[in-house]
Amino acid sequence: MAEKKKVCIVGSGNWGSAIAKIVGYNAARLDIFDSRVTMYVYEEIINGRKLTEIINEDHENIKYLPGHKIPSNVVAIPDLVESSKDADILIFVVPHQFIKNQCEALCGKIKPTAVGLSLIKGFDRAEGGGIDLISHIIQRYLNIEVNVLMGANLAGEVADEKFCETTIGCRSKEWGSILKNLIETDNFKVVVIDDVDTVEVCGALKNIVACGAGFADGLGYGDNTKSAIIRLGLMEMIKFAQTFYKSSQLGTFYESCGVADLITTCYGGRNRKVSEAFVKTGKCIEDLEKEILNGQKLQGPITAEEVNHMLKIKNMENEFPLFTAVYKICHGDLKPQLFIDEIRNHPEHIVKFSNL
Ligand SMILES: NC(=O)C1=CN([C@@H]2O[C@H](COP(=O)(O)OP(=O)(O)OC[C@H]3O[C@@H](n4cnc5c(N)ncnc54)[C@H](O)[C@@H]3O)[C@@H](O)[C@H]2O)C=CC1
Ligand SMILES: O=C(CO)COP(=O)(O)O
């Protein structure tokens, strides 16, 4: 009999803890997985106790996902290498600003046959200039296959077991079905596709659009405006994918990682919420992140900066007015009150007759 696959979750924030609930449940009931799931926890002291102790004794991440039990077969470990060294499947789910440091620490310390699944939404700077997808960065540091999971998945709702869907972008059929088994439940349905990069591009870019939706909410615009932002944002996402990831398929945008995640984040996400408060209070984004999110991290403003870095290099800022306006507002170069003016004459607003 083949050896049972060991799973490690690298990360224990809001989404990391919600996915631990699912992975712990599936690992305990499915024969192909070792029932003991390790979870790397960035240690902190909460009410005088270590977070790892709280998770291992009370089976709850009281800081990042309060009110939800994490299965007792999920073991919290504060040492990154210790938690990951025996794993056959590494699930990466940390805010993207921390992934490079963690990859450096893991380099040469994991099983060479391990396979990764990245749930991380964002980009980072590429070494030779431009930007890179997080899964590519992990792949390069650790020299393992890295697949991705992105979808309309607000962590709290997933943890509440409210029905939703997700998309796994997978590089091989064999791993596609193993990862589907590991992740799927009756209330968390998985579609596996092979357009891996586009799945990840969708997950990263929608956070920029969500900031735009939040600015519009803060400025008092209504649902029609928000729909326009979602649509223009979607068109920029597609254009970005088709420009920089040539094999990108349009159909991927119809999966949960595409339109669905865009909608859910523009209505219910943290990026939207903090961006709305940014307009209403005039406080800076870093302060609001601390004030509103209690240690959780925003991805939208940093992603807007990374994407802008790429667009500037390519002299393409004008072709992506929504992404560019969100970046400028987050960066303090544009007043949020001018946001709608920046997208009023969008390149999408043209006569679109077919040739027939
Ligand atoms: N929360 C959500 O609803 C969803 C989040 N995601 C994505 O999942 C990824 C992870 O997000 P969350 O789990 O929500 O994290 P989070 O936003 O809850 O971030 C907090 C986590 O960061 C850790 N942390 C703080 N400082 C650190 C440091 N210096 N080094 C290492 N770790 C540190 C904390 O210990 C905690 O585990 C992000 O890319 C996010 O976009 C994807 C889908 C849903
Ligand atoms: O990615 C998410 C939902 O799919 C969460 O978005 P926020 O980070 O804006 O909360």
Separation of CA 112 and ligand 2 centre (Å)? 31
Q: What is the pLDDT of residue 355?
A: 75
Residue nearest to atom 30 of ligand 1 (CA): 98
Residue 10 neighbours by CB distance under 10 Å? 28
Q: Is the CB of 166 under 6 A from ligand 2?
A: no
Q: What is the pLDDT of residue 169?
A: 98
Range 249-277 burial, b when 16+ CB lie within 10 A, else e:
eeebbebbbbbbbbbbbbeebbbbbbbbb
Q: Is the CB of 259 under 6 A from ligand 1?
A: no
330's enclosing H/E stretch is helix 321-330
Checking if the pLDDT of 75 tops 80, the result is: yes
Separation of CA 260 and ligand 2 centre (Å)? 11
Residue 249 to residue 213: CA distance in whole angstroms: 25
Residue nearest to atom 2 of ligand 2 (CA): 154
Q: What is the pLDDT of residue 307?
A: 98
CA-nearest of 98, 135, 140 to 119 is 135
For a mutational test of ligand 2's pocket, the pick from 121, 164, 200, 292, i.e. the residue with the most ligand atoms closer than 8 A to its C-beta, is: 121
Q: Return the ligand 2 atom nearest residue 151 CA.
A: 4
Q: What is the pLDDT of residue 128?
A: 83
Give the residue with greater pLDDT, 356 vs 193. 193
Give the CA dihedral 82, 85, 91, 97, nearest 10 degrees.
60
For the segment 45-64, what is each residue's pLDDT rounded down to a tens digit? 999 999 999 999 999 999 99
Which of the following is catalytic: 6, 21, 121, 206? 206
Residue nearest to atom 26 of ligand 1 (CA): 42
> What band does 44 get if pLDDT is binned at 50, 70 and 90?
very high
Q: Burial of 37 by CB count in 10 Å (0-12 exposed, 13-18 middle, 19+ buried)?
A: buried
Is the distance from CB of 34 to CB of 2 less than 8 angstroms?
no
For the segment 256-311, what is each residue's pLDDT rounded down to a tens digit? 999 999 999 999 999 999 999 999 999 999 999 999 999 999 999 999 999 999 99
CA-nearest of 141, 144, 101, 99 to 120 is 99
Average pLDDT, the chain: 97
Q: Return the ligand 2 atom nearest residue 153 CA.
A: 4
- With a pLDDT cut of 70, the percent of the chain lying above it is 99
> What band does 5 get if pLDDT is binned at 50, 70 and 90?
very high
Q: What is the pLDDT of residue 356?
A: 64
- ipTM of the complex in this document: 0.99
Q: What is the pLDDT of residue 149?
A: 99
Q: Burial of 300 by CB count in 10 Å (0-12 exposed, 13-18 middle, 19+ buried)?
A: buried
Q: Is the CB of 16 under 6 A from ligand 1?
A: yes
Q: Is the CB of 11 under 6 A from ligand 2?
A: no
How confident is the model over 156-175, as a mean pLDDT? 98
How confident is the model over 90-118, as a mean pLDDT? 97
Q: 280 an active-site residue?
A: no
Residue 252: both structure tokens together = 């991927």
